[in-house]
Structure 1
Amino acid sequence: MAASELGDYLRARRAQLRPDEVNLPTSGTRRVPGLRREEVALLVGLSVDYYVRLEQGRERGPSAQVVDALATALRLDEDGRLHLFRLAGLSPRARAAAVADRVDPSLLQLMDAWPDNPTIIYNRAYDVLAANAIADALFHEWTHSRNLMHMVFTDPAARRFYVDWHDVARNSVAGFRLGYGAAPQDPRIQQVLTELRDGSSEFAQLWIANDARGKTMESKRFEHHAVGPLTLTMQTFDVRSSPGQALVIYHAAPGSPSSEALALLGSLAATAREGI
């Protein structure tokens, strides 16, 4: 990983912190958003010159102790801390060839055993590798793309389908960057990144923000053309047998209108599968 990416990340993170958030005085005219370089250096216990060299890419070997102190000073969460360590070259990286696209057959059987819960598996490039029938129905049979990033940023219908499109877009880019940090030389990740930078100004702007954050549990609102509004909770799990793959399961609150709509969607999916 080029040192400039470490510098970009440090600059982006300090720009998003106000002095009062880290108990520093806020008086005087400030020419930059967020914290100044000297303020970060003060919080971490570094010389200003050393910190400047880090941001400029002239210092290429920060110790684990320095990186840990930077993560604490910049108020990074666990995903952000992991990403910072990776950028500093202090955690193992997956080789490009290690990003597996084959889905374990037993996992496919398990997905089919959840006919009422849309379930997908995607890789670090956000390519959907597998989906059960109701997930195919939820995502309109993937008519635009089987890549979730392309779906969010290049499908004209995405802003209607994802009710909270701006939140979905921001979270998707943060998750994509986390996968990129784990395997930056993977050719498929590089291809998707290039396509999105060239094809979506909104993606390019969000990419510059340098957010890195994985998915755990969150709620998403959809407007589906066949069954109407859906509010679904999604749970995301790493597939330990295939590093780089993630399993996502959607479900609705029992007895809710979304639960009824999801049941209808499942019925439509079953009918379509049987060719009725």
Structure 2
Amino acid sequence: MHIAKLPAEARARRSAEMREFLRSRRARVTPAEAGLAAGDSRARRTPGLRREEVAVLAGVGVSWYTWLEQGREINVSGEVLDAIARVLRLDAAEREHLYLLAGLNPPQAPPVAVRRVPDGLRQVIDSWLPRPAYLLDRHWNLVAVNRAAEAVFGYGEDDHNCLVTFFAGARFRSSLLHWRDAAHAIAGQFRADAARYPDDAEFGRLAADLCAVSPEFAEIWAEHDIRGASTGRKTVLHPDAGELTFDYATLTLPDLPGHRLLLHTPAAGTDTEQRLAALLGAAVG
């Protein structure tokens, strides 16, 4: 799928970047690494592969590859870009960059099953204390939750999926202010996520299961509302700490495709920070 057409000045910048990017990546791959006979190295004026060698190895015409490297406006396909990425030994980030420079939307990365949260990420989640933080995978399963999130939102061992807990449990309905507004937002965000992965049947299964057990979710889901939320505010009526209001930010993680980290900060102008400290202190005691 092609991305939106750019203005002339932006296209010129992108073409220049394509030239330098492909030349630099071609220069770092040796003929031996590409499976070619090295030949006489003295005959090579520049290090790495020649344009015609990249073209042959990728199965494209020499003229076509030359035009691509020159940043010309030509038709490209994902299959051809993948072949070039393979020859040039591009990593995932470089392959995505190549797609963007060529005017194509990068393909979605395959899901990453996280059985163990990387140590650095675990440290970030734990060090966010005394503020709540948790990690979700692309199906909204709770992968890691810090102690503050457990205390504030009541996440426990039986809570495996954030969406299911929100709609199928009674806790959020009684504790979250403006539950109905939040329900519309969450269902809309989940539908937007599902559209990003049309081949993933798990989204449909989760939605169908929730429709069967939650009339509210079934009603909202039928509206086909779409929402996006990288930041927001939520207020919780905690049974012990009282009213807690947080501003939150959602961070995507390039090394864990589909995962997102939610970080909560006590809202300015409220006494949430003091109430939160007292709650966590009581939990420790």
TM-score normalised by the chain length of structure 1: 0.60
- Does 141-150 or 257-266 show the bigger shift? 141-150
> Which shifted more, 98-107 or 200-209?
98-107
Residue aligning to 1:156: 170
2:245 touches 2:270 (CA, 8 Å); kept in 1?
Answer: no
Quick one: distance in 2 between partners of 1:188 and 1:265? 37
How many residue pairs align between the two structures? 181
What is residue 135 of structure 2 aligned with on the other side?
121
Aligned match of 1:221: 235
The residue type equivalent to 1:127 in the other structure is: N
Given the superposition, is the C-alpha separation of residues 148 and 240 from structure 1 closer, same or farther in structure 2, using an over 3 Å criterion?
same
The unaligned stretches of length 5 or more in structure 2 are 1-103
Look up the match of 2:161.
Answer: 147
Q: Which gives a bigger RCO, structure 1 or 2 (Cα 8 Å, sep 6+)?
A: 1
Q: Shift in Å at residue 101 of structure 1? A: 3.3
Aligned-partner SS, 1:219 = strand
Indicate conservation of the 8 Å contact 2:167/2:210, yes or no: yes
Residues 236 and 244 of structure 2 are in contact (CA less than 8 Å); yes or no, is this contact kept in structure 1?
Answer: yes
Contact 1:223 1:230 in 2 (8 A): yes
Q: Deviations over 1:63-87 (max 9, x none)?
A: xxxxxxxxxxxxxxxxxxxxxxxxx
Mapping for residues 97-246 of structure 1, pairs under 5 Å: 98-102=111-115, 103-142=117-156, 145-246=159-260
**Structure whose CA Rg is larger:** 2
Look up the equivalent residue of 1:184 and give its one-letter code: P
In structure 1, runs of 5+ residues without a counterpart are 1-89
- 1:211 deviates by 2.0
Alpha-carbon offset, residue 134 of structure 1: 0.8
Alignment root-mean-square deviation, CA: 2.2
1:195 to 1:101, Cα distance in 2 relative to 1, 3 A: farther
> How far apart in 1 are the matches of 2:112 and 2:194?
11
Rounded Cα–Cα distance in structure 2 between residues aligned with 1:108 and 1:92:
29
Q: Post-superposition shift, 1:265?
A: 2.4
Deviation, structure 1 residue 183: 1.6
| Aligned 1:78-93 pairs, distance under 5 A | none
Q: What is the rounded CA distance, in whole Å, between the counterparts of 2:121 and 2:164 in structure 1?
A: 25
**Runs of 4+ in structure 1 over 6 Å off:** none
CA distance in 1, matches of 2:206, 2:144: 18
Structure 1 residue 157 displacement after superposition? 2.4
- What is the percentage of aligned positions where both structures have the same residue? 28
Distance in 2, matches of 1:193 and 1:155, equals 15
CA distance 1:99–1:211, shift in 2 (3 Å): farther
**Judging changes above 3 Å, is the alpha-carbon distance between structure 1 residues 190 and 264 closer, same or farther for their aligned structure 2 residues?**
same
Secondary structure of the residue that 1:203 maps to in structure 2?
helix
Query: How far, CA to CA, are the matches of 1:138 and 1:144 in structure 2?
Result: 16
Deviation per CA, 1:228-266: give whole Å up to 9, x if none: 111111111111111111110111135631111111222
Write the letter of the residue equivalent to 1:111. Answer: I
